[in-house]
Amino acid sequence: MNEHETAKKITGYLDHGTAGLKAGVAFRLQRARQLALSELSAQPEHAPRLALAGSGGGSFGPHRFLAATRLGIGALLLVGGVLAYNYWETAQQARDIEETDAAILSSELPIDAYLDPGFEAWLKHSEP
């Protein structure tokens, strides 16, 4: 049995089966077909819009607006993050210097001891 004969046999069975369909069933099948076709015809309207959003075309549809808004928010968050980090780093450096200077000034050694090269040599000289 070749393909053509098989197809002919299948369509014969289908025709035989549909011939006995009740009127209500046939109507529902027709409506389902129309609905499927109407949805199919609506799809091409979406497809070009999505394609344009990605290609940088001239259209400014809702998808493109949403993408631009998201990127705008992302850019603002980036700026905010960089500024916050910079501020924190500067403040941290200032705190470190403040803490060190307060500790130097209040330590048991006077400032001169940290700066006198003779004292450094004296310490090395007196090491056991």
CB atoms < 10 A from the CB of 122, how many?
11
Taking CB under 8 A as the rule, which mask of x and - marks residues 80-99 in contact with other proteins?
Answer: --xx-xxx--x---xx-xx-
Taking the C-alpha atoms of residue 47 and residue 49, their distance in angstroms, rounded to an integer, is 5
Under the criterion CB under 8 A, does residue 128 sit at the interface with other proteins? no
Q: Is 72 in the site for other proteins (CB under 8 A)?
A: yes
**List of residues 6+ apart from 113 with CB closer than 8 A:** 119
CA–CA–CA angle 97, 98, 103 (5° rounding): 95
The reply on whether position 12 binds other proteins by CB under 8 A is: no
Q: How far is the CB of 21 from other proteins (least distance, A)?
A: 53
Q: Which residue has the tokens 């916050």?
A: 84
Residue numbers at the binding site for other proteins (CB under 8 A):
54, 56, 67-68, 71-72, 74-76, 78-79, 82-83, 85-87, 90, 94-95, 97-98, 100-111, 113-126
